[in-house]
Amino acid sequence: MKKNKLLLLSVFILSILFISSCNKQDIKTSSDEVKIQENAPVSTSKAEVSSEVKNDTKSDEKGGPWSKFTASDLDEKEYNQDILKDKKLTVVNIWGTFCGPCLRELPYLAEIAEEYKEKDVQFVGIVIDTLDQNGEYSKDQINVAKDIISKSNVKYLNLLPSPDLINIYLKNVQAIPETLILDSKGNIMQSFLGSREKDDFKKIIDEELIKLK
């Protein structure tokens, strides 16, 4: 329990850093992303923050880093890695309620999600700034997220930052929005920072679908 609490608290600290960066507007990149300050005391296992699409060709047939996790949605319903197995691709969008670039892309992410349902592609959001100062989920902040999701016409699943998600990926997040494309076994096929135009998103997804043929 203590370990889980510390993990949740680490994401809270991370979200505060994001908010600080966004409000000050002193760090903004050409790719339209909100970036953590370079001297922030968080894990930086990624060698460099880049807006370029990163390909991960070393997929593991037995299961990638996202092959085992549990997390709850904004209504406290629990999900696990099984949400991945029946889809060719899962697009995971990590976003925050304070992040302008995140909010701007949500409406057309919602459109793409509906358009690609028949292609066995699903979208999953992770709302990173949903913890209070005690490292507990904030009902007020969750309600803010729900309101944004509703107004953006987002119908796909959005998850809270669970200890599992923190451990397997979120602890290394350095800027948002960040988007990952996962295969059915939890392997990361691509990842990229910053918002994208609708056509750019579709192109990236289409390229990954072609690789699966």
Six token digits for residue 34: 């909100």
**From CA 45, how far away is CA 26, in angstroms rounded?**
23
To 10 degrees, the CA torsion angle through 87, 32, 10, 185?
20
21-25, 38-42, 109-113: range with highest mean pLDDT: 109-113
CA 13: distance to chain centroid? 17
The b-or-e profile of 67-93 (16+ CB within 10 A means b, else e) is bebebebbeeeeeebeebeebbbbbbb
* pLDDT averaged over every residue in the chain: 80
Assess whether pLDDT exceeds 50 at residue 72. yes
Q: CA torsion sign, 122 to 56 to 204 to 88?
A: negative
| Rounded average pLDDT over 179-208 | 96
Distance separating alpha carbons of residues 179 and 79, to the nearest angstrom: 19
Residue 20 scores a pLDDT above 50: no
Q: pLDDT digit string (tens) for 133-180?
A: 887 899 999 999 999 999 999 999 999 999 999 999 998 898 999 999
Residue 57 to residue 87: CA distance in whole angstroms:
19
> Which of residues 173 and 73 earns the better pLDDT score?
73
Domains of the chain, each with CATH number or no CATH? 88-211 (3.40.30.10)
